[in-house]
Chains A and B, each alone.
Chain A
Amino acid sequence: MVEELGITAEGDQVINIGPQHPATHGVLNLVVTLNGETIKKVEPHLGFIHRSIEKMCESLSYRQFIYVTSRMDYLSSHINNHACALCVEKGLQIEVPQRGQVIRVLMDELTRIASHLLWWGAQAMDLGAFTPYFYAFRERETITTIMEETCGARLTMNYMVPGGVMVDLHPSFQQKVKEFITLIKSKIDEYDELVTGNIIFQNRMKGVGYLTAADAVSYGCTGPTARGSGVHCDVRKIYPYEVYGKLHFDEVLETEGDSFARYLVRMKEIKQSISIIDQLIDNIPDGDFQAKTKAVLKLPKGEFYQRVETARGELGVYIVSEGGTTPYRIKFRSPGFSNLSALDHMAKGGKLGDLVATMGTLDLVIPDIDR
């Protein structure tokens, strides 16, 4: 009987979660060692969506490879494109016009709100509440409509190019964004009433998945995952790029380090993103949206690195150039991979039911981890 259930002599049982499982948000395989209901070990198995994007980038030109990166972390595709465009610009020493910079930042922050909204809906769904999912998508659709008007796509926009952005803003962009800001400001309170203050939700989230600040640093966690433990790591603050240096916004920090702290960080980040958009939407400077660049880009021989803050954490793009039209090697430092590596530490000693709550707050996008 014991052998049939796969229980070892010490009383441990090994179960598989995924690759097809609604709580893994994609195709991740977790091999969980359990003792009763207590987790002894969580082993993530990767590669179920490894599309060899880094290898592909080596055969694509500096204009082409950016489009592939939209499919990497598809919930913040603008920010992925932004990181690659910035890295190429660094190599070519192109100065992006002010208008281009402001448009980029606006798009980044809209993407961040959309990503956090989707995460909020999915997190509540993981814990068994289905209504927030519909609420979140209702507001997210407004952002996708705005994106579609300007960029021509709802999800994988491919809008940022080396030198600026691909096309100018749609004439109704400003008005639509203002309407959206008014809408989301009223909805945030509704979200707080519905989920944040909910006692069942708080009981599920508080006191599970602890991650101390020292552990967050040693695992290389970034983004809301690390900021929930009080680690000062917002790239927009520490290494400001584009116009972030001139903007007034707070880096959201929580010191608890549990799942609820990470939840609060993301909810507060939505408000910070709204305030950034508020500051910029009436002050989009006139002028070019794209700098003049050559048709064929050639990066000088050398190594270039650029980091940006995506909705999930720090994304780094590392390009090694031999002086040709295609990169010699590209490496992406994706936030999801490092955040996932801390899962074993966070879930150990907890209950199996809390694993879902903990994993949800990491906000994993599996193609971002596997690439």
Chain B
Amino acid sequence: MDVKDAVQTKQPQFPGEVYEAPGGGFMTGALNDVINWARSNSLWPLTFGTSCCAIELMSTASAKYDYSRFGFEVVRATPRQADLIIVSGTIVNKMAPVLKRLYYQMPDPKYVIAMGACAISGGPFFYNTYSVVKGVDHVIPVDVYIPGCPPRPEALMHSLITLQEKIMSGMTRDQIRRQHNPDL
């Protein structure tokens, strides 16, 4: 299989053209698009689970669902090596500063998925309590929200694919912030 066929069959979303030429060929494409494409296919999530949703997150990582098929294989235990937080579970007032610190510790570019009702809005059950943060977007910027209590593994995988599409089109919070402030 030559280069052109390989790119077109294996990576149909590749943002560029491949031209055949003697001795191998060459590609054209906007550098930004190629970088975004590369980033979207190598997301490294942080192992961050606070409550019930973390179990569904573990299910998604394990035998039956296996999200490494979509490029989320490398789960990191330290924020220094991760670029994606999946906030799986309730965030309470005591945990919020910790989450913020974890977010700041991650290298740029970074993305956030709010998994489950608690991370979206404080949850269907925890809206009238004194200790729960009413939505993780009060603390850190969120790119994709997944409803459910807890969401199914399929829902989580859909959100991961949605995040990939968002990154490829340059529409995540982090990317938009960067467009407006090139000095960041």
Residues of A within 8 A of B (CB): 19-22, 26-27, 47-52, 55-56, 59, 67-68, 71, 74-75, 118, 133-135, 137-138, 140-141, 144, 154-156, 366-367
- Say which one of B26-34, B86-94, B136-144 lies at the interface with A: B86-94
Q: Which residues of chain B from 139 to 171 have a CB within 8 Å of any chain A CB?
A: 149-150, 152
Q: Are A52 and B131 in contact (CB under 8 A)?
A: yes
Name which residue of chain A comes closest to B85, CB basis: A20
A74, B51: Cβ atoms closer than 8 Å: yes
Q: Most chain-B CB neighbours within 10 Å: which of A71, A134, A138?
A: A71
Task: Give me the 3 closest cross-chain CB pairs, A-B, nearest first.
Answer: A137-B62, A74-B52, A138-B63
Q: A residues within 8 A CB of B128?
A: 56, 59
Q: Are B152 and A71 in contact (CB under 8 A)?
A: no
Chain B residue nearest to A69 (CB atoms) is: B125
CA of A59 to CA of B128, assembled, Å? 9
Contact of A71 among B48, B51, B54, B131 (CB under 8 A): B51
User: In the complex where A27-B95, A48-B50, A155-B150 touch, is A134 in contact with B129 (Cβ < 8 A)?
Assistant: no
B residues 9-56 touching A (CB-CB < 8 Å): 46-52, 54-56
Closest B residue, CB atoms, query A55: B129
Q: 27 A-B contacts, Cβ less than 8 Å apart? A: A20-B46, A20-B47, A20-B98, A21-B77, A22-B47, A47-B92, A47-B94, A48-B50, A49-B51, A51-B92, A52-B126, A52-B132, A71-B51, A71-B125, A134-B62, A135-B63, A137-B59, A137-B63, A138-B63, A140-B59, A141-B59, A154-B150, A154-B152, A155-B52, A155-B55, A156-B150, A367-B52
- CB proximity of A19 to chain B, nearest CB, Å: 5
Any chain A CB within 8 A of the CB of B64? Answer: yes
Q: Complex formed: what's the CA distance from A52 to B59 in Å?
A: 27
- The yes or no answer to B102 lying at the interface (CB within 8 A) is yes
B66's nearest neighbour on chain A, judged by CB, is A134
Whether the Cβ atoms of A51 and B126 lie closer than 8 Å is yes
Contact across chains for B92 and A67 when beta carbons are under 8 A apart: no
Listed residue (B48, B49, B51, B152) with the most chain A CB atoms within 10 angstroms of its CB: B51
B contact residues vs A (CB 8 Å cutoff): 46-52, 54-56, 58-59, 62-64, 77, 79, 89-90, 92, 94-95, 98, 102, 125-126, 128-132, 149-150, 152
CA distance A154 to B150 in the complex (A): 9
Contacting residue for A67 out of B77, B125, B131, CB 8 A = B125
- Contact check, B132 vs A51: say whether CB atoms are below 8 A apart: yes
State whether B92 touches A155 (Cβ < 8 A).
no
Would A141 and B51 count as touching, CB distance under 8 A? no
Majority secondary structure, B binding face: loop
CB distance from B135 to the nearest CB of A (A): 14
A27-B95, A49-B90 given; A134·B63 CB < 8 A: yes
Chain A residue contacts of B55, Cβ below 8 A: 74-75, 118, 155
Residues on the B chain within 8 Å of A140, using CB: 59
Known: A51-B129, A55-B129. A137 touches B64 (CB 8 A): yes
* Chain A residues near B63 (CB-CB < 8 A): 134-135, 137-138, 141
A154-B56 contact in complex given A48-B50, A51-B129, C-beta closer than 8 Å: yes
Task: Give bound CA distance, A48 to B94, whole Å.
Answer: 5
Q: Which of B77, B79, B92 contacts A48 (CB 8 A)?
A: B92
Query: Which residues in B have their C-beta under 8 angstroms from that of A156?
Result: 52, 149-150
- Evaluate contact between B129 and A56: CB separation under 8 angstroms: yes
Contact yes or no, B48 A20, CB < 8 A: yes
For the complex formed, measure the closest distance between the CB of B58 and the CB atoms of chain A, giving whole angstroms.
Answer: 7
CB <8 Å contact, B52 and A138: no
Q: How far is the CA of A51 from the CA of B117 in the complex (A)?
A: 14
Known: A26-B49, A49-B51, A74-B52. A19 touches B125 (CB 8 A): no
Expressed in whole angstroms, the Cα–Cα distance for A367 and B89 within the complex equals: 10
Partner among A67, A74, A75, A138 whose Cβ is within 8 Å of the Cβ of B64 = A138
**A316 CB, nearest partner CB in chain B, Å:** 21
Q: Does the CB pair B77–A50 fall under 8 Å?
A: no
For B48, B50, B125, the residue with the greatest tally of chain A CB atoms inside 10 Å of its CB is B125
Residue of A nearest to B47 (CB): A22
Q: B50 is contacted by which of A49, A133, A137, A138 (Cβ under 8 Å)?
A: A49
Q: How far is the CB of B79 from chain A (nearest CB, A)?
A: 8
Q: How far is the CA of A154 from the CA of B56 in the complex (A)?
A: 9
Instruction: Pick from B50, B54, B132, B150 the residue with the most CB of A within 10 Å.
Output: B50
Contact B125 A56 (CB under 8 A): yes
